[in-house]
Amino acid sequence: MSSQLDALRDHTTVVADTGDFEAMKALRPTDATTNPSLILKAVQQDAYRPLLEKTAREHRGASTAELMDRLLVAFGRAILDIVPGRVSTEVDARLSFDTRATIERARGLIALYEAAGIPRERVLIKIASTWEGIQAARALQSEGIRCNLTLLFSLPQAVACADAHAQLISPFVGRIYDWHKKSAGASWVEGDNAGAQDPGVLSVTRIYRYYKHFGIATEIMGASFRNVGQILALSGCDLLTISPDLLNKLAGTQGDAPAQLRAGDAKGDIARIGADEVTFRTLLNEDAMASEKLSEGIRLFVADAVKLDALIEAQRA
């Protein structure tokens, strides 16, 4: 019998959610995703600090922002030497509410990749799923720059991303689960909220069915998993991006991973949701979980970006 990881690959594209090259080599994902927190964690390890040192040394006259982007691209290039597919590289989260600045930084990242001989088809630019970020993605997609809309917690966000023709969205399973568990407090019953009934799984399932029902081409990549059960409950999703710890658990467990999501099952009476700004902001505001987790996620990524800035500045001293 094959491992659950191999079985999962029969239904879903497996993506590594890490900046750890050695983990990627061992686990053989198709794609890889990074974010400021993962890169910060990586450059503090002896194995990856030379990438930071080399970037700072070779571009001494560059601004901190440029050095950060060059560092992200250095990681991305190394990752693309390992994975056969694509890498996601994130625009600075401090620009999450600035459409024009996000577009400019994304263009800069793609230019650095192309200067290194990496075709833009192998790169996904990660942008937070704010209204401003989604409009930046709309413009970038029209230029052939493919976008991964991240920090996504609700169907209205997913609908707006699809309207912008985003290449891919990353709905966060684990953070939705975290919010509902904390909100429920002592009344939370784990067994009643596991597998297909997990709040994060239910959210991604709803998005999947909406997209497939209306023939939306934007790819869905479940992200931010807390346990193997969440992953197995979303087998059949277009892509799943998974941490090395959970990938290792799947690889070390024999068993099947039958498809739980099937495009043919997206039937029934599904109402369309508007993709205009007023509808987006109204529905997002009415969803306490999505509003809070989006704001919190941006704050956390900004905090790690500031820490990464400090490491870069220390190298320039």
Q: Are 52 and 43 in contact (CB under 8 A)?
A: yes
Q: Which residues, other chains included, contact 8 with Cβ-Cβ below 8 Å and sequence gap of 6+? A: 14, 231, 232, 235, 240, 250, 257
| 230 has pLDDT over 90 | yes
Q: What is the mean pLDDT of residues 123-147?
A: 98
**Gap between the Cα atoms of 297 and 106, Å rounded:** 20
Q: What is the mean pLDDT of residues 261-275?
A: 93
| 317 has pLDDT over 90 | no
**Gap between the Cα atoms of 132 and 294, Å rounded:** 13
The CA distances from residue 208 to 5, 79, 97, 129, 236, in Å, are 21, 28, 27, 17, 10
pLDDT of residue 112: 98
Say what the pTM is.
Answer: 0.96
Q: Are 183 and 218 in contact (CB under 8 A)?
A: no
The CA distances from residue 291 to 11, 45, 176, 268, in Å, are 32, 34, 11, 28
Q: Are 158 and 117 in contact (CB under 8 A)?
A: no
DSSP label of 200: H
pLDDT band, residue 39 (cuts 50/70/90):
very high
Mean pLDDT lowest among 43-47, 69-73, 191-195 = 43-47
DSSP label of 88: E
Give the number of other CB atoms < 10 A from CB of residue 309: 16
**What is the bridge-based pairing of β-strands 123-128 and 239-242?**
unpaired
**What is the bridge-based pairing of β-strands 239-242 and 219-222?**
parallel
Rg of the chain (C-alpha set): 19
| 309 has pLDDT over 80 | yes
Q: What is the mean pLDDT of residues 28-39?
A: 91
pLDDT of residue 35: 86
**Gap between the Cα atoms of 23 and 243, Å rounded:** 9
Q: Are 1 and 254 in contact (CB under 8 A)?
A: yes
CA dihedral 93, 80, 211, 107 (to 10 degrees): 50
Burial of 173 (0-12, 13-18, 19+ CB in 10 A): buried
Tokens of residue 31, six digits: 């794609």
pLDDT band, residue 268 (cuts 50/70/90):
confident
SS3 17: strand
SS3 223: strand
Q: Are 70 and 112 in contact (CB under 8 A)?
A: yes
Catalytic annotation, residues: 126
